[in-house]
Structure 1
Amino acid sequence: MNNENVFFNPGDAISSSHDFKEARRSAQIIKAGKPTAKKIVIVNDTENGKYAIYFADQEVDQGKGKAYRIVDKL
């Protein structure tokens, strides 16, 4: 697993789940539906264990978003 932390606005999540496999499957469906889409990251909220999916370019500065740990990149 990756220990890289990133910051996103929680309201910008494409999808979220408590199950990593479900989150990854959702990310794969999103990526397959838009093959030219930007890079997608699956992140983990270490406070509640929930996984969220974001477009990587939606990352924000530390003071403007919530910290997440990158789990996977597509």
Structure 2
Amino acid sequence: MYLIPIAWLYVVVLVAAAEDSIVAAVLTFVFWGLAPLALFLWLFGTPARRRRRLQQEREALERNDRAETDADQ
């Protein structure tokens, strides 16, 4: 999953290095590199975050179920 972001950052760094001024290089890196990359990683990381949250909820429910059965015995 991280191959595309790494390649994209490589290309953006090369483009930013070719800019005439430091300000243009920084703005190129931020608006062509960091902002789109953050959006990409957030969008493509959503299913993994959802699975992790559901797994944590299931584990918490199992812990609560086990705790209740121990109290009855």
Under TM normalisation by the shorter chain, which class is it?
Answer: 0.3 to 0.5
Structure having greater relative contact order (Cα 8 Å, sep ≥ 6): 1
- Please give the TM-score of this superposition, normalised by the length of structure 2: 0.33
- Please give the TM-score of this superposition, normalised by the length of structure 1: 0.33
Larger Rg: 2
Structure with bigger strand share is 1
Structure with bigger helix share is 2
